[in-house]
Amino acid sequence: MILVTGGAGFIGSNFVLRWCAHTDEKVLNLDALTYAGNLANLQSLNGSEQYQFVQGNIGDASLLTRLFAEHHPRAVVHFAAESHVDRSIAGPEAFVETNVVGTFRLLEAARSYWNKLEGAAKTAFRFLHVSTDEVYGTLGVSDPAFTEITAYAPNSPYSASKAASDHLVRSYFHTYGMPVLTTNCSNNYGPFHFPEKLIPLMIVNALAGKALPVYGDGQQIRDWLYVEDHCSGIRRVLEAGVCGQTYNIGGWNEKTNIDIVHTLCSLLDEMAPAAQRGVINQQSGKPVLQYAELITYVTDRPGHDRRYAIDARKIERELGWKPTETFETGIRKTVEWYLNNQQWVAGVIDGSYRDWVAKQYETGKQ
């Protein structure tokens, strides 16, 4: 059995689903079910003997101790985190509590459990910590991409809290010899993405005739990684990664935010024409002819990093992994998924979500 934390979130749920599709090994999913945790993501596993869910917080030390003692996991895959930069700016304390204190308590529980293991079980145990490229800070347009030895320079409360958790994980290897692995990924996209992030927000807003809010000039650059590729990379690191090492997982797809938005508009024009759907511009009250009409530039967020880029040559060279999806194939699959899963979208978009989006994007327009 493996223990997955945060397995009801976007990346975590995709990982659990793909794990169960690729292996017969059991999964114990520990998730606090905060706003971004959604058990509907995993409804296809209902009744499966391979999968078990426990609602709980990684900051609950007694719960962690009990789960390790009862289930004897041979590995931990740690996704659980507060992960939205905008939310970290509005309320950083939750990010420190979950990403720093929570990771510390998980490490402590795992270390206590690992210390009691013997022989092959102790040798085989792994703690895989899933992190982000945002810990490395920002890049200029012509700067080389982030490597595993790039100095940390986090610029938001979110990235600072993830950087702290990375350092804690590293310290448990060097101080205690605990068999840890760290992965730093680029921007994920794909099914089950909570619609506060760029790609799902644009899809959901466009279909509703709402403004497509673009921060600043829209020229911020990100490397985009299809979530199923990310999950396969994590499986490979868990299988063959060298303890104490970090592996960057990227998609080799650098795109500006505004290019992403225009690509989504073009795909929606093709796959779900606004005229056929009767989409009305919620600002003007007029019918939408092309979704790009809805693009609205809004005031940039504080400390917005200009560019992230992942150099993923190490994981390809040492572990033989590379992404299988191009951005063109992955983004088409993503749009198709959202169009085919409108019931899931409707279930996610409740009052608190609408209040959050209104607060973040519908004020301060340029």
For the question of residue 49 being annotated catalytic, the response is: no
For the question of residue 134 being annotated catalytic, the response is: yes
Residue tagged active-site, from 31, 82, 133, 229: 133
Structure tokens at 88: 């970290």
* Distance, CA of 115 to CA of 110 (rounded, Å): 8
Residue tagged active-site, from 51, 158, 215, 226: 158
b vs e for 278-290, b when ≥16 Cβ sit within 10 Å of the residue's Cβ? Answer: ebebeeeeeebee
* Distance, CA of 134 to CA of 303 (rounded, Å): 12
Residue tagged active-site, from 134, 148, 196, 229: 134
For the question of residue 35 being annotated catalytic, the response is: no
CB contact at 8 A, 55 and 16: no
Tell me how far the alpha carbon of residue 189 is from its chain's centroid: 8
Greatest CA separation found in the chain? 70
Active-site positions?
133-134, 158
